[in-house]
Amino acid sequence: MIKPNATQHYLQSILMKHRAGYFVLIDPDQHTVSSCARLGELAEASGVDALLLGGSFLTTGLDPIVESLKKATKLPIILFPGSALQLSRNADAILYLSLISSRNPHYLIGEQVRAAPLVRHMELDAIPTGYMLIEGGTSTSVSFMSGSAPIPRDKLDIAWAHALAAQYMGMALVYLEAGSGAKLTVPSEMISEIKDILEIPVIVGGGIRTPSIAAEKVEAGADFIVTGSIIERNPSLIEAFSDAIHLGNRRK
């Protein structure tokens, strides 16, 4: 059995301290090294729990960004890779993603095999994560780049069966993703159905544009909330999101 690593222990401590945790996603494609550092500083000052770093296109050049973030903040930096090339030995951990909602073997296991020797060599904390695309009302970068259709938002049984399969396969987290810039969020009813049957934490992201929506997802059962695009457009919202998420009424 895989033992929880240091970053997983930290995430569990967040859930013990707060009702839910808050991750800010930084897309290196949308930032310079200096703007990433400024966003990291603001995130830490606003009560964010960890930074996710990743995007759909950038394949190299993560090291300077991670180094600048390390100097600017003490928050854990968790890689959220779009491919096996989006790695940095200076990060604290990596969400070791398997796109379990896909039928494309490349993103189910292919990229993971390519990345495994590098992750071991870099001594990154690997957090096995079942990644599920959920229909968000528009075509998203991750759906297009992976060639994967999202799970229909009204197919709750399909969604929870995938999530349960992820748990049975030994995943430490399940990530429900409506996609960057999604028009619609992951349905709260779907979050509740999945949370009711899982014993592992649930991350929810995509299309969460207001603190009140974030609080709604926490109330539905989300353990961690991710925001990205809205923070790129309006960084001043970070503190309001943090307060709404940490004070939310998590179901269990």
The CATH code of the domain that includes 62 is: 3.20.20.390
Q: Which residues of the chain have pLDDT under 50?
A: 1
User: Would you state the pLDDT for residue 1?
Assistant: 44
CA distances to 15, 20, 91, 164, 217 from 100, rounded to whole Å, are 25, 24, 24, 11, 22
CB neighbour list of residue 120: distance below 8 Å, 6 or more residues apart: none
User: In this predicted structure, what is the pLDDT of residue 110?
Assistant: 93
Supply φ then ψ for residue 119, to 5 degrees. -60, -40
Q: pTM of the predicted model, to two decimals?
A: 0.94
Q: Give a yes or no: residue 154 inside a domain.
A: yes
What's the token pair of residue 252? 């269990």
Structural domain tally of the chain? Answer: 1
In a domain, 252, yes or no: no
Residue at 251 is within a domain: no
| 164: in domain | yes
Q: Which of 227, 199, 233 is CA-nearest to residue 215? A: 227
Please indicate, yes or no, if residue 116 is contained in any of the structural domains. yes
Residue 218 within a domain: yes
Q: Measured at the alpha carbon of residue 106, what is the angle toward residues 104 and 112, in degrees to the nearest 5?
A: 130
Is residue 1, in this structure, part of any structural domain at all?
A: no
Amino acid 92: pLDDT: 96
**What range does the domain containing 29 cover?**
6-246
pLDDT at 114: 94
